[in-house]
């Protein structure tokens, strides 16, 4: 986390070159998503581009993207689930310009403050967004291995927001879950909202 914050806070150590490369990556992501598809050649092209520009990009989120892409192509077979998961990651990485500049201003993510302990036994967890930890099923398995259960936002004790959800969350499909969780909190029904990062730090 410290590396991530240092990269963001310092305008990235590489200065203009890093900003330019990152802007190019965002353009590539928007280009491959323009037809709402992601084919094998496009995935391999993204991998090749990330490898070629290694060291010219901010640590976050490009390192996570590079890891995710390599996981997808590692066994030589790209499944539909892997393709959809990667598409969701790219969508979160490169929101459309109107999603962050038009209409109302973006809303900060409504995490519970101060950060609470995460208790798994006899507690339900709802997930929203795309996770750096891995595909949604992997996150669910990790929660169940620790004694928690997977639940809807109406019945959950915790809502975990994936690390790639941006302050423009209200424009994405995951916004409905976040708004539902906020409504529950306003009505004094117990629900804890935590970041993926906080969840991953929890034992």
Establish if 113 belongs to a structural domain: no
Same domain, 89 and 6: yes
Mean pLDDT of the chain: 75
Q: How far apart are CA 121 and CA 21, in angstroms?
A: 45
Same domain, 86 and 130: no
Of the listed ranges 24-38, 73-87, 127-141, 183-197, the least confidently predicted one is 183-197
Residues 22/16, Cβ–Cβ less than 8 Å: no
Q: What is the predicted pLDDT for the residue at 183?
A: 62
Q: Is pLDDT above 50 for 62?
A: yes
Q: What is the predicted pLDDT for the residue at 95?
A: 60
Among 12-21, 74-83, 95-104, 119-128, name the most confident range. Answer: 119-128
Q: What is the predicted pLDDT for the residue at 173?
A: 44
Q: 158: left (phi > 0), else alpha (psi -120 to 50), else beta?
A: beta
Q: How far apart are CA 20 and CA 100, in angstroms?
A: 19
Phi and psi angles of residue 194, each rounded to the nearest 5 degrees, phi first: -130, 160
Q: Tell me the CATH number at 144.
A: 3.40.50.10190
Q: How far apart are CA 161 and CA 126, in angstroms?
A: 9
Per-residue pLDDT band for 106 (boundaries 50, 70, 90) equals very low
Q: What is the predicted pLDDT for the residue at 43?
A: 93
Higher pLDDT, 159 or 23: 159
pLDDT digits (tens, 9 = 90+) for 11-24: 333 444 556 787 88
Q: How far apart are CA 178 and CA 195, in angstroms?
A: 12
Same domain, 140 and 178: yes
> What's the whole-number mean pLDDT along residues 49-72?
83
Per-residue pLDDT band for 161 (boundaries 50, 70, 90) equals confident
User: What is the pTM assigned to this prediction?
Assistant: 0.48
Q: How far apart are CA 63 and CA 113, in angstroms?
A: 28
Establish if 19 belongs to a structural domain: yes
Same domain, 10 and 85: yes
Structure token digits, residue 8: 């963001």
């Amino acid at each position: 986390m410290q590396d991530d914050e240092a990269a963001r806070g310092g305008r990235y150590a590489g200065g203009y070159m890093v900003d330019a490369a990152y802007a190019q990556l965002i353009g590539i992501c928007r280009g491959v998503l323009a037809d709402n598809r992601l084919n094998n050649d496009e995935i391999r092209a993204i991998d090749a581009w990330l490898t070629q520009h290694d060291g010219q990009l901010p640590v976050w989120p490009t390192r996570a993207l590079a890891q995710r892409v390599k996981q997808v192509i590692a066994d030589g077979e790209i499944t539909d689930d892997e393709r959809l998961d990667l598409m969701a990651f790219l969508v979160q990485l490169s929101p459309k310009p109107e999603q962050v500049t038009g209409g109302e201003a973006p809303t900060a993510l409504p995490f519970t403050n101060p950060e609470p302990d995460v208790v798994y036994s006899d507690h339900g967890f709802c997930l929203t967004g795309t996770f750096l930890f891995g595909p949604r099923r992997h996150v669910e398995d990790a929660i169940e291995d620790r004694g928690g259960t997977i639940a809807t936002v109406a019945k959950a004790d915790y809502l975990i927001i994936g690390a790639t959800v941006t302050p423009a969350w209200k424009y994405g499909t995951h916004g409905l879950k976040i708004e539902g969780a906020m409504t529950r909190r306003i009505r004094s029904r117990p629900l804890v909202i935590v970041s993926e990062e906080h969840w991953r730090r929890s034992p």
